[in-house]
Amino acid sequence: MSTSPLTILLASPRGFCAGVDRAIQIVEVALEKYGAPVYVRHEIVHNRFVVESLEAKGAVFVEELDQVPDGFPVIFSAHGVPKSIPAEARRREMLYVDATCPLVSKVHREAERHFSEGRQIVLVGHAGHPEVIGTMGQLPEGTVLLVEDLDDVAALQVKDPDNLAYVTQTTLSVDDTARVVDALRARFPNLHGPRREDICYATTNRQAAVKAIAPKVDMLLVVGAPNSSNSMRLVEVAKLHGCPASRLVRRADEIDWSELDGIGRLGITAGASAPEVLIEEILRDARAHRDVTVEEISIGTESITFKLPRILLEPETTA
Ligand code: 0CG
Ligand code: SF4
């Protein structure tokens, strides 16, 4: 059987970031330390494969704290939680571990600092995303104004234009956010906030890697989940930078290889919550259908790692 050649360009960096790595490790270490079940509020990261692997080890995923019975440990997902959640956990004397990414916590502290300095805060982000709910929930209800796009900036009503600060979601499109922040600065020249935005290194690097590959391929697959903000942004970036035939795939079994018959060059990347084994699965299937050559296109390396929360490192005290 002769198979036609397919060149796969693999983006690098791709896949797990330091915050995702840490969050998954938190669940694993908590399971070892406390024993199953350990409850997790919201998907620890936005990936079904990760969630199901942890479920197999004894993690139980819920959406709200009131679904966790008294007396069991609970972990908060990497996306962050409103202040009311740990407050409620303390009230119920629950043992909780916060797996919020340190780069999301940094944005929470920025928002709090601006608020304590008397500024009103604008959050650039996507309504309804758990990170946005968590960041807004760092401050009293109604104090953070959410803007999603340029129209929202134009319509924004603020208390005092000279006493305004902004923060952003960490997983946005770098280019779209630059436009929104420019528009904010144009309307409010005394706007306080980061020089550019609060988009994390992982989001920035994965978008840059996609920009390097998109113009060179006929189709680009982003391995990730539809509720993963950073993954969905990679699909958009690829489409805007030379590869209109870009799409999200959750698993290898979603790919119909007969549809790829005319494709000679295929780009592949993965969102920050998608494990590398899902890419390996796709490469294995690709080799079954085509004569594959893999080239990795790297725009740089990442070396950042985050420590586990202290509570997991301390020996368990017995009464
Ligand atoms: O990209 P978002 O914020 O939706 O999260 P995901 O779980 O996909 O990845 C990084 C984290 C946390
Ligand atoms: Fe942290 Fe960025 Fe990873 Fe989110 S995508 S967990 S902010 S490093």
- Rounded to an integer, what distance in angstroms lies between the CA atom of residue 221 and that of residue 269? 6
pLDDT digits (tens, 9 = 90+) for 60-119: 999 999 999 999 999 999 999 999 999 999 999 999 999 999 999 999 999 999 999 999
Ligand 2 mutation target, pool 14, 16, 20, most atoms within 8 A of CB: 20
pTM, to two decimals:
0.98
Q: Is 229 in the pocket of ligand 1 (CB under 6 A)?
A: yes
| Extents of the domains making up the chain | 5-16+201-298, 18-100, 103-187
Options 3.20.140.10, 2.60.120.380, 3.40.50.970, 3.40.1010.20; CATH of 5-16+201-298:
3.40.1010.20
pLDDT digits (tens, 9 = 90+) for 188-220: 999 999 999 999 999 999 999 999 999 999 999
Within this chain, domains 5-16+201-298 and 103-187 share the same CATH topology:
yes
The DSSP secondary structure of 211-257, one letter per residue, reads HHHGGG-SEEEEES-TT-HHHHHHHHHHHHTT-SSEEEESSGGG--G
Active site residue 52: no
Share of the chain above pLDDT 90, in %: 97
pLDDT band at 318 (very low <50, low <70, confident <90, very high): low
Give the number of the atom of ligand 1 that is nearest the alpha carbon of residue 233.
Answer: 1
- The confidence score (pLDDT) of residue 315 equals 86
With a cut of 80, say whether residue 2 has pLDDT above it.
no
**CATH 3.40.50.920 given to domain 18-100:** no
Using CA of residue 308, residue 229, residue 41, residue 249, what is the dihedral sign? negative
Task: Provide φ and ψ at 308, rounded to 5°.
Answer: -75, 155
Our CA angle for 252, 258, 260, nearest 5°, is 75
**CATH 3.40.50.300 given to domain 103-187:** no
Identify the CA nearest to 162 among candidates 204, 192, 203: 192
Whole-number Å distance, alpha carbon 136 to ligand 2 midpoint, is 18
Residue nearest to atom 3 of ligand 1 (CA): 229
